Every structure is written in C-alpha cells, then in structure tokens.
Chain A
C-alpha cells in the first residue's frame, strides 16, 4: 500500500505544481492592467510605477512566479485589492463551503448508495424504475433552477425556511442548519443521482459476478450476499467516482452559494472575477485546485483500504 500511496502523492505534488503554473499564467492572461486595478484606476504613471514596484509587477514572469509560489508555500497569498490578506479571507470563507459540501456529500452518499443498491437488487421492479427515473431526473434538472423552485415553495409560499443568507453554527446551530438545508439538498441532488447510477451499475455487475454465485452456493442469506459480498466490491468503484465528482461539487457550490447568498468560497470566486481582483482570484483558484488534489488523495487512501489487491501486494501472484 505504501508504494501505491507514495506514487499517488508524488503525482499529486506534480499536479499541484503544474496547477499553480496554470493559475499563475491564467491570471496574467486576464485583460487589463493589474496595476491599474490595484491603484483604484489612478492613471498617474508615477503611482502606477510605484504600485508595480510594490507588487513586483515590474519583474520578469518566472521571478514573479517563484516569489509568489514560495510565499504561497508559507501560506502567504498576498494582499487583495482592498489590502486584506488573501490567505485570511479564504480561510474565513472555507469552513462555510466545507460545511455545505459535507452536508451535501452526506445527503448524496446516503441517498445515492442506498437507492443504487435497492435498484440493483430489485432490478426491473417498480422500485428500480422509480430510483432510476429519479436519478435521471436528478441528472437532467439544472440544480440552480431546483434551488429557485425550492425558494419559491419552501421560503416564499410555505415560509418554512429562510430564502437566503448564512448564520454560523456557533451563533445559532438550528438556524445554521435551516439556512443550509436547501442549499445542501440542491448540491446533494446531483451527487446522489450520479452515485445512484454508479452504485446500481457496479452492484449489477458484482451481483452477476462469479464470487456472488459462490456466496449464494454457500447457502448465505441474500442479505449477507448483497451487503457483504456484492456491496464491498461495488464500493471500490463507487469511491473513485466520489473523487471525480468533487469538481462538480465545487462548481455546484459556486452557483448554489450565489443563489442562496451564502458568503462561502464559491461566492468569493465569483467576487474575485467580477471585481478583477487578481491576487484574490489567483489564491482562490490555487486553493481550489490544491483542495481537489488533496481530497482525491484521500479518496485514494480509502480506495486502497477497500481494495486488498492494492493494500497487500501479492508475493505469489502468478
């Protein structure tokens, strides 16, 4: 297992490095003069030169990159247009998105895997059709529109839940959940649809696998055939899918936070773009990419724990 994870970690480092280069170049490809933006549109050449010097914008790009990257490694992502430290801004916004994402993943995983298993086991029956159809609907429905519909129904008409905003957990735990329930459902729907389909197809193939036939031939109960023999192997495939869905989750968080006016990481991304705040955008995208890589590394750890072929390297493998 050590070898596998070391290899994965090495690849992850390379990806993070390349991502940082892409971010750095991408942000510099943005139209407009960053000095102009930083100087609050002050067009005095002397002021602009001073800003360029202060921000190191007069130096060659590779030098700028090395300076930026080495500071970023120490957690210093620079100052944004309002002279606030980018690192600090991101850190205050991340927990909000993380809470939202965790709730969404929880909803997605529980509903998705459960529905997937039931659908596969009861293949062709009513519950299978119901689950498959719901998954198809969940995949086809635009989530931000689902969010709008929920606001109309649960906030405007029924007045059960607040339409927007955010209250931190420390301030008021219940209110915190009330504010996050709809966004988490919106964000979790797509994930549960994807997971349901993956679980169903993985379960269908493992339910017809030879080892499941062996398990049945042993006289095991259907429950232990499904829950032990079939599900364990299906989860190996499903774990990798969760990792791949992370990108969709981050994308989803951006728009969900926009609709429900949640001051999280996703909204920060849009703010950075709309305000053309280069340092902020640079930091936000770098953190997003790094987060993606790190979570996928965690997924690989789970994967290797589930899959003995990776955990135990066979000494007698023919």
Chain B
C-alpha cells in the first residue's frame, strides 16, 4: 500500500505567502490608494526643489493674499509666497519628522520591549514600571517640556515625538516577545541550546516584524500630526522654514480674510496621515492572522 498526498503542491512556502499577501493587498482598493498617495507625498518631499514652481521663501509683493490663479495654483499668503510651493516644501518637514520619529521610537522601544518580554522577571517589572511612568506624561507635555529644555527646532520636535511614541511600542514589542517565547519553535531552539541572542535574532524578531511594520505605518501619521501640532505651537519648525504647522499658525491671523490659507495646509496634513493610516489598516488586515479567517 502506498499513499501519495496530492493535496499539497510543492511550492516554496515563502514565495507562496508573499503571493497570497500581495493578492490580499491588491484586493483592498483603499489600502492600495493609501499606498500610492503616501508614496506621492514622500516623492513630493524628496523632489520639492525640482517640482515646486517657486522657492519656499520667494515673495511676490504684487500678489499678497492672492486667490488661486495660473501663476499661483493655490494662491499666495500674506507675504505673497506661493502656497502650493510651500505645501510641497512643507512635506519635507512632515515626512522627515514622521519617518525619523518612528524609526527613533522603534530603535528605542523594540530592544527594550524584547528584553522585557523575553527575560521577564524583575527586568520586565522594572521596564513595565518605567513605561507606566512615561505613559503618565501625555505626549504633548513631554514634547513641550523637551522643546523647552532643548530649544524649539525640527530635530528636537522629532526627538520628542520619537520618545513620546516609544512607551506604547515597548508594550507592544513586549507582548509579542512574551507570546513568541512560548512558541514551540522557540522552545525547540532553547532545548537545542541556542544562545538567547541567536533566538532573538532568528526567531523572535523576524516573527514580530509584521506587527512592527503595521505599528510603524500607524506611528508615522501620528508623528506627522504631532510635528504639525508642535510647529503650530511654535515648538517645532521655526519660520521662515516652511512647514504645514507653521503655515496653519500664520493663517490663524487671517481666518476671516483668507480662510483658504488655513484650509490647504490642513488638507495636506489630513491626506498625508490618511494615506498612511489606510496603508496601515490594509497591512494589518492582511498580516493579522486573526482577521484572515
């Protein structure tokens, strides 16, 4: 008697998984749209010097607070600066803050979270208490405090945003590490005498990657809005450097006269963070095994 199991085709499982994920992703038009718009914003930030019709500071005193026209797509502000160009230039600060703050948060949080979840015991207890303390300070208060200590600038705002985002990420990384530790393949690796570092690098980290990617796509828009808030409050990007938050702050004085000055930068922030959120939601849907059933 011989039995052949014909139901499983011999395909490389990783390639198969990638193909399934891509197919699932393509079936979510909102996620695809989010991905494309997010890419567009990143490109706008990188290419601003090339594609912006005017430089960020160029003033046109013949067109103060001008309405949109052929020369000025979205009109001009109170100093005659081209709003469309400034939005393109402003994307730089937003994307930079969003991406770097998230990377910083990850770099701080993931190792701490893994150590806490993997080793547990008093290390875990100490780290848990520490994140509790950090969480007790609302992010804006931390950012305000840091800006006050370090001085207001985009770099300092980014650091503040990164530190502000870290505690929540620590908790997530810890939870993942805690769960992965109990997986059979990790136990098997432990039983085979693999070193902790090797287990973490080979098994724990790669398996929490999809969760981390989803968290990153959600952290980026939060940091982008955070940058706008700090710049709006005068604690981030300093004028005359263009930033969406600074533009909104300037626009406050002209709400009745020229509301569009407050509308366009806001739409830019909204679209940018919406696109990342859509992407993040889509990724979560396709990567989270609980929602695939």
Contact = CB atoms under 8 A, between A and B. Distances in A.
| Direct contact between the two chains A and B in their complex (CB within 8 A) | yes
A258 interface: yes
Q: Mostly helix, strand, loop or mixed at chain A's interface?
A: helix
Contacts of B281: 136
A149 interface: yes
Contacts of A22: 133, 137
A4 to B, nearest CB: 16
B58 interface: no
B223 to A, nearest CB: 12
A292 B221 contact: no
B255 A247 contact: no
Contacts, number: 129
Interface in A132-147: 136-137, 139-142, 144-145
Contacts of A136: 274, 277-278, 281
Q: Mostly helix, strand, loop or mixed at chain B's interface?
A: helix
B132 A11 contact: yes
A15 B126 CA distance: 11
Interface stretch (A25-33, A85-93, A105-113): A25-33
Interface residues of A, number: 47
B133 A18 contact: yes
Contacts of B274: 136-137, 140-141
Interface string A248-260: 1111101100110
A243 to B, nearest CB: 10
A273 B148 contact: yes
A270 B233 contact: yes
Contact of A156 (B129, B259, B266): B259
Nearest to B130: A18
Contact of A29 (B141, B149, B259, B270): B149
B229 interface: yes
A144 B141 contact: no
B263 A255 contact: no
Given A142-B228, A152-B259, A276-B148, 5 more contacts: A11-B129, A145-B266, A148-B255, A255-B140, A285-B137
